[in-house]
């Protein structure tokens, strides 16, 4: 497991969610290596279109890299995969295993995050034992399972959720270095991105720009 100071979601400012299909022809490992050099605080293994075996093998390599960097590794959806690669935790959605079940399977020291787009979802996830919330999609995005023509919930929803819960909130969905500041100003601990880093010409520089925007 990663050092406890790094596994506090309240200290996560830049959160990379992997997805090789939008990585401009690069491998996820290449992107993650660059992002870690650029200072991201946490990596989530997503890879929705990969097989379980491919995600497992990739996860083992990511586990080595993130452990060496002292950065937490979170697995999207799959509690079994998180256990198999000894990840730091799992992030579940509203249609995945319930937060409480994930907690029972992973144990009290694991990180369990939950996606929430409404205040009601957020309150329920907190009550069930989530360590942090991923709230969005904040802005229009083609990376998440939302209509790209919709404008997203906006920073105002981030503020509403932050006011309603006591656990850290991470904004996700359509976030870039240019529009990250309002998300943090609304109370988010940090921001999670996919294409802002993975599709960038220089993922390391993109990670640095995003971190600068969040801290600013």
pLDDT for the residue numbered 59 = 98
pLDDT digits (tens, 9 = 90+) for 109-144: 999 999 999 999 999 999 999 999 999 999 987 665
How far apart, in whole angstroms, are the C-alpha atoms of residue 123 and residue 121?
6
The domains located in the chain, with CATH, are: 9-215 (3.20.20.70)
Average pLDDT over residues 159-187: 98
Can you say which residues are annotated as belonging to the binding site? 44-48, 76-77, 96, 115, 141-144, 174, 194-195
Can you say which residues are annotated as belonging to the binding site for Mg(2+)? 77, 96
**Residues annotated catalytic, as ranges:** 46, 115, 144
Q: Which two tokens stand for residue 206?
A: 């993109």
């Amino acid at each position: 497991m990663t050092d406890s100071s790094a596994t506090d979601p309240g200290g996560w400012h830049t959160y990379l969610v992997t997805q090789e299909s939008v990585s401009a022809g690069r491998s996820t490992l290449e992107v993650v290596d660059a992002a870690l050099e650029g200072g991201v605080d946490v990596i989530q293994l997503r890879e929705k279109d990969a097989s379980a075996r491919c995600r497992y093998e990739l996860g083992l390599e990511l586990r080595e890299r993130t452990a060496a960097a002292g950065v937490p590794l979170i697995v999207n959806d799959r509690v079994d995969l998180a256990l198999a690669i000894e990840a730091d935790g799992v992030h579940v959605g509203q249609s995945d295993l319930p937060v409480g079940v994930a907690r029972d399977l992973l144990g009290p020291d694991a990180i369990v995050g939950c996606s929430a787009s409404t205040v009601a979802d957020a309150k329920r996830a907190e009550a069930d034992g989530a360590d942090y919330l991923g709230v969005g999609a904040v802005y229009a995005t083609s990376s998440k399972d939302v209509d790209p023509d919709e404008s997203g919930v906006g920073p105002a929803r981030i503020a509403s959720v932050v006011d309603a819960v006591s656990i850290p909130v991470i904004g996700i969905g359509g976030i870039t270095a240019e529009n990250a500041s309002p998300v943090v100003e609304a109370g988010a601990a940090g921001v999670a991105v996919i294409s802002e880093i993975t599709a960038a010409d220089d993922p390391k520089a993109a990670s640095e720009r995003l971190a600068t925007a969040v801290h600013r």
